[in-house]
Chain A
Amino acid sequence: AQSVTQLDSQVPVFEEAPVELRCNYSSSVSVYLFWYVQYPNQGLQLLLKYLSGSTLVKGINGFEAEFNKSQTSFHLRKPSVHISDTAEYFCAVRSGGSYIPTFGRGTSLIVHP
């Protein structure tokens, strides 16, 4: 079964600093990778996804992620964060043979002024 590890449960950062949220998954022949964001008291919203093609994926709100097959990672990055980026971020992976994505435990990004 697929597993997803988000190594950091909480990442504090100052406004305008860069940030990287880490995600690793267990190996699979083919995977589809997703990052979702959850603002307080809201459902999850898709930030970006990797289905195929270029390993560098750009999403909404200035976020990007890079698929690294050899390291089975899909880390999320933003060069300069804003206070409004404070939220919970979830990495999700769906193996090619499954209809059900597996989610990581989430990383709480806290942006300080």
Chain B
Amino acid sequence: GAGVSQSPSNKVTEKGKDVELRCDPISGHTALYWYRQSLGQGLEFLIYFQGNSAPDKSGLPSDRFSAERTGGSVSTLTIQRTQQEDSAVYLCASSFSASPNEQFFGPGTRLTVL
């Protein structure tokens, strides 16, 4: 079946602009995660959605970052007033539930802020 998809694959933007990154999880997966991957920094957790529960936003680095998940499926990560330090690969992952199953990752969106 189809895996996790993300769009766009690459995004170049100017400092100060807003960007939206999209994630389509695997159908039926109730849990969805956003991570940021910077060079040499590993994966930094940003936000977690589980079903209809309130999201865990504890990893969002500033109030410029927000995310939503509509209808328990597609998710959008929005970064307002982008800064150069926001440049990174943004990865989305989904899993069947909050139980200790594997996470299925999308290919990521590479964001470059000029």
Task: Report yes or no: A90 in contact with B43, Cβ–Cβ below 8 A.
Answer: yes
How many A residues touch B, CB cutoff 8 Å?
23
Task: Report yes or no: A99 in contact with B106, Cβ–Cβ below 8 A.
Answer: no
Closest to A32 in B: B100
Residue in contact with B106 in the complex, picked from A34, A36, A43, A102, CB distance below 8 Å: A43
A90 CA to B48 CA, complexed, in Å: 19
A9 CA to B41 CA, complexed, in Å: 10
Closest to A47 in B: B102
Instruction: Check A105/B41 contact, CB under 8 A, given A49-B102, A99-B48.
Output: yes
Assess whether B107 is interfacial by the CB under 8 Å rule. Answer: yes
Task: Report yes or no: A94 in contact with B105, Cβ–Cβ below 8 A.
Answer: no
A42 CA to B103 CA, complexed, in Å: 14
Instruction: Check A99/B56 contact, CB under 8 A, given A41-B107, A43-B106, A94-B100.
Output: yes
**Digit string of A88-106 for contact with B (CB within 8 Å is 1, else 0)?**
0010001000011111111
Q: Which of A6, A43, A102, A104 has the most chain B CB atoms inside 10 A of its CB?
A: A43
Task: Report yes or no: A103 in contact with B42, Cβ–Cβ below 8 A.
Answer: yes
Q: Shortest Cβ distance from A28 into chain B, in angstroms?
A: 13
Interface residue ranges of B19-38 to A (CB < 8 Å): 31, 33, 35
Assess whether B76 is interfacial by the CB under 8 Å rule. Answer: no
Instruction: Check A9/B40 contact, CB under 8 A, given A99-B31, A100-B33, A100-B48.
Output: yes
**Digit string of A15-38 for contact with B (CB within 8 Å is 1, else 0)?**
000000000000000001010100
Q: Shortest Cβ distance from A112 into chain B, in angstroms?
A: 21
A90 CA to B4 CA, complexed, in Å: 19
Q: Which residues of B contact A80 (CB under 8 A)?
A: none
Task: Report yes or no: A104 in contact with B42, Cβ–Cβ below 8 A.
Answer: yes
Assess whether A83 is interfacial by the CB under 8 Å rule. Answer: no
Q: Which residues of B contact A99 (CB under 8 A)?
A: 31, 48, 50, 56, 98
Assess whether B79 is interfacial by the CB under 8 Å rule. Answer: no
Interface residues of A (CB under 8 A from B): 6, 9, 32, 34, 36, 41-46, 49, 51, 90, 94, 99-106
